Structure 1
Amino acid sequence: MIDLYFAATPNGLKAKLFLEEAQLPYRVMPISLSKGEQFDPAFLAISPNNKIPAIVDHDPVGGGEPVKLFESGAILLYLAEKIGRLIPKEIHGRAEVLQWLFWQMAGLGPMAGQIGHFNVYAPEKVPYAIDRYTRETARLYGVLDHQLADRAFIAGEFSIADIACYPWIVPHEAHGQNLDTFPHLKRWFDSMATRPATLRTYQDVENVYAPKHAISEEERRVLFGAGKRA
């Protein structure tokens, strides 16, 4: 059994999507970010960076003590190696998947996250930031579109690269992007959206990038400020 500490952010959905694709037994441990539950000492013992997702694998390969893990990219890699699927064993294929996993972690996620913040959550419009992150996110969408021009999946075969990237394309409207501008990316996105595991993952999940109702200053402080940690 795997405990998944979860909120419905793109990074949280990456871990959930993997577990659904792999059909590993897991239970969701909800973390309310707006209530500051990510700062609870019990959660910090698993995820010292006070971010979701995090997992506890109670049945690690080889037995022994449960494995605690934070950082969504590390979780995807760990779980793929645990089941021996969704990342190639052959060196060239493995390298291809890893570079796109790290591309998502270092580029697509941070930049798309910034424009999502400034478009949806920021208390005031900041034109320079909106322009800067919209343009950079468009560039990254273009990189992915080019990669998908001659293949069904990002690294050739379906892998953790696709699982990592898909939840960051779901909120494309909040990112200020029109998928019709990226036809290869759109084809891949539509294909990913119809996978049974994707449908299960997103069933009854909150859209955190929907046009937001007003949030309180306390919620804003907890979500985007110093939080509860001294």
Structure 2
Amino acid sequence: MGEANAVERLGQRLLDVPTLTGTPPDWDGGSDPVDRFARWLLDAHDHQALEPYALTLSTVDAEGAPDARILILKGIRPDGAWAFAGGASSSKGIQLQHHPVAALTFHWKERLRSVRIRGRVQPADPQESNADFASRSPASRAAALAGPTSQPLADPAQQADAVAAALSGLEKGETPEHDWTLWWLLADQVEFWQGSPDRQHHRERYTRTGTGWDRQLLWA
């Protein structure tokens, strides 16, 4: 009964919830989508957007079914590449082995802005992946080492014990093997969206060409 009531309450809230409550800045442009993205991300950070470096990574599995999860941006390159990381044996790692293409989505509701990026994905060299793993906090490294990511867990205590054991090993200076991987998505398309309270939103898409980027305004 309680669960049904929660569903009913949610249905009403979805009708009443306010949208486009952020404060959009002036719509800007530029010939380079990487520079523009960096400016938008810095703007989101400067205006106290929550978790501005969070992104949604979308992939497909071997059967073509979509999947998505939230990660953290690890870096960008001037040639139009965005970095993220995780375990090679995780669901995303296995999916990227089968289909090395993905999409990244950033959303900064405080600024009514989002960016979508599509392209091919390549793993970084082992040295770069190892450096990223080493830069993580001990707790984060222990969690990555503790067990088979995305696999069934029989008991939460099993995970807690495995994390504690991994953390203890790290504190003793052990350097266990890991499959932590840094991936780079080389963008084919980058799309910028900015909302407007009057619903006349702004959209612009950059498409990679042989010599640079083609820009195209889009109907919102």
The TM-score with structure 1 as length reference comes to 0.19
**Which structure features the higher share of strand residues?**
2
Q: Which has the larger radius of gyration?
A: 2
The TM-score with structure 2 as length reference comes to 0.20
